[in-house]
Amino acid sequence: MVDTALKTRKSARQRAKTFVTVVAICSAAVSALHGEEANAAAERDEHRSEVLKEIDQTIEAAISEGRAPGGVFVLERGGRTYRRAYGLRAVEPEREEMTEATIFDVASLTKVVATTPAVMLLVQRGEVALDEPVKRYIPEFGGDGRDAVTVRHLLTHTSGLRPGISLRPAWSGYERAIELACAETPRHDPGTAFVYSDINFILLGELVRRVGGDGLEVFVRNEIYGPLGMETTAFLPPEEWKARIAPTQRAGDGILRGVVHDPTARAMNGVAGHAGLFSTAGDLARFARMMLNRGELDGVRVFEAETVDLMTAVQTPETLADRRGLGWDIDSRFSRPRGSRFPLGSYGHTGWTGGCLWIDPFSGTFWMFLSNRVHPDGTGNVLDLQRALADLAADAITGFDFENVPGALPPRD
């Protein structure tokens, strides 16, 4: 249905005057990894220029209010992109300007840009079955109510497991985390409640390691990021990236920079299925384009179209109010980046450190805002900003009627 709707709108999109064209305006400092960073300016559609200005003003106001030190915003449709950096990358120990090439700790975006696609590649290859018990792949995850938990339950946060592993008493090491995750017992019968849980994705990361034959960080580098040309996306970022990484929060005698912010992922030595990934707006844009293209980018096919359709369709039971895909958020209490304008059936995710990504296959649009709102003291808050930017992003689109979207999901009572 989504594919048909997009095809029937193709000629209309080609005729419609779009909201923005990216042109290079200046060159910036040479970075250690990519060399010259290009800043871009937008040629604004005369009917939407005020909306793009309002996006700028809204982000700048949030920064001035201390909600985040800075960030990078991207809005793209049909190859036309509006992208801009705002504010500061760091406020201490020294002030640094935010750039479009900044590398962010994307926190729980890891779930949908690393773990979910890794699992779905294994599903696509017939090596993992969604409705098989998790214990088939991780035998230690059995007994005490765990036998009925399936891979699908983990991906949809309907396993019944609690939100996270306790860090007290203190523990460390990847193996110890898996032991603790496998010892967790469901608080609800699987499939009967939606409880957003990092434990689900810690287990899925381990499933990828066991079935895929490599650690999650190696699997996604070889199978996803390499083929997609996502050159600055990785767990455990190398030292040469450090100058471009947005620092997060004070910890001990310093500030976390290039070390994952999430305390559980940090205790797991930086590689976990729920958090730990670092990336840029440019790389995440490539991933979003691949998703909009139903698995293909620049002639490289990573997923079959049916696999993308499967992971982005509602997979939670009708009895639950929260609607989730496989990994992806669709219509839940966490769907701030959908706002009130993007249609039900679009999808995305958020991250604790201040990032969000939302993809709308109906209009062929995606938008994101990446920030390090936890820098330097953890007090920043971008929740309201995400909602506001979602509606402004939709308002900036020309040539699409968001009020009448064939194929969109009906609202739930």
Q: Which residue numbers are catalytic?
A: 108
Unique residue bearing structure tokens 């966490």: 334
What is the Cα Rg of the chain in Å? Answer: 21
Burial of 254 (0-12, 13-18, 19+ CB in 10 A): exposed
Q: Which phi and psi angles does 234 have, rounded to 5°? A: -170, 155
List, as one string, the DSSP characters of 7-34: HHTHHHHHHSPPSEEEEEEEEEEEETTT
C-alpha 78 chain-centroid distance: 20
State the amino acid at position 195 in one-letter form: V
CB-CB contact of 302 with 318 (8 Å):
no
Q: Hunting for tokens 């990828």 — which residue is that? A: 208
Q: How crowded is residue 365: how many other Cβ atoms within 10 Å of its Cβ?
A: 24
Q: In angstroms, rounded to a whole number, what is the distance separating the alpha carbons of residues 64 and 320?
A: 39
In the chain, the amino acid numbered 318 is E
| Ramachandran assignment for 229, one of left (phi > 0), alpha (psi -120 to 50 degrees), beta (any other) | left
> Which one-letter amino acid corresponds to residue 289?
R
Exposed, middle or buried, 134 (CB in 10 Å: 0-12/13-18/19+)? buried
156: tokens are: 């949809």
Is 343 in contact with 402 (CB distance < 8 Å)? yes
Residues 6+ apart with CB under 8 A from 126: none
